[in-house]
Amino acid sequence: MTASNAIRPGAGWGFYRGAGVILTAFGLYAVLSIVHMRTVAATIGMEAYLGDGERLPASLLLVSQASKAAALLAAIWLWLARRPSIGWASLGLRPAPPLWLVAGSAIGLAFVPAGLLIVKAVIAVMPAWAGFTGAAFAFADPASLWVSAAYLLMTIAITPFAEEVFFRGFLFQWMTGHRPVWLAALMSSAMFGAMHILPPQAINAALLALVLVWLLRASGSLWPGILAHAVNNAAGLLLGAAAAAGRLPDWLTPPG
């Protein structure tokens, strides 16, 4: 496989411009989340919205995913609009050789059982974290089928694109302009993991992020990483649904 590696350290982002992108993204996400929760509280109420089941409602997960994707992409777009000479291609949105796309898909799929082993190892060390490993999403009843379908689309397609553009295309590359590559990889991956909040998932996501950084560096394109991320999310959802239905062997069932 030959890489079209034309990644430039810093990708044209100055220190303060990059810091502005980060503050804009997390500020927008906070505002969107607050508006969502206040709207719910003023209409049906939080108790009715959250329900009494073991899992969060698909509508809450959908809005949360959509808010995050919108905030990450909007922050990039707003700052790129002020400096169009940087361009989206500098973030890694350039064509990738087909073999790298195949490699990305294979890596995303392989990291599902690998990630499960990582989570099990974390739980073995920290048993109290077992309660964080249950599937957050269950395929809903037909009455809310459109919400479930929208959540699946968001998780499998839109969120992987938004997160790769922001965390690898922007954040990692911006950091490489101001820190050594290894430190930029660790810092951006740790921030990506922290976005997943729950400790076992956060550790798993941070380790996956390091692999996605390697894909970007090796291929010179974000697309293999986007594909790896999408395949990993899709396979993870299917695995979680099968585990919740009791259709998997113990070694493929998340602890909890």
Q: For every one of its 256 residues, what pLDDT tens digit does the chain have, with 9 covering 90 and above?
A: 544 454 555 556 778 888 999 999 999 999 998 998 888 788 767 676 666 655 667 777 888 889 999 999 999 999 887 777 777 888 899 999 999 999 999 999 999 888 888 877 777 777 766 665 665 555 555 447 788 788 889 999 999 999 999 999 999 999 998 889 999 999 999 999 998 877 778 888 999 999 999 999 999 999 999 999 999 999 888 877 776 666 766 666 666 5
Q: Is residue 1 part of a domain?
A: no
Domain assignment present for residue 3? The answer is no
**What letter does residue 2 receive in the DSSP assignment?**
-
Model-level pTM?
0.86
Q: What is the CA angle 20-24-27, rounded to 5?
A: 135
- Residue 32 within a domain: yes
Specify if 2 maps to a domain. Answer: no
Whether 143 is covered by a domain: the verdict is yes
**Burial label, 64 (beta-carbon count in 10 A; 0-12, 13-18, 19+):** middle
Q: Does residue 226 sit within a domain?
A: yes
Provide the pLDDT for residue 53: 58
Contact of 32 with 70, CB cutoff 8 Å: yes
**What amino acid occupies position 175?**
M
**What pLDDT, on the 0 to 100 scale, is given for residue 174?**
92
Number of structural domains found in the chain: 1
Whether residue 85 is contained in a domain is answered as: yes
* Residue-level pLDDT at 161: 97
Identify the burial level of 29 via C-beta atoms within 10 angstroms of its C-beta, where 0-12 means exposed, 13-18 middle and 19 or more buried: buried
The residue written with tokens 């965390």 in the block is 167
Domain extent at residue 148: 9-252
Report yes or no on 4 lying in a domain. no
Residue indicated by tokens 């990708």: 11
Which amino acid type is present at position 2? T
Task: Using the Cα atoms of residue 187, residue 191, residue 196 and residue 199 in order, give the sign of their dihedral.
Answer: positive
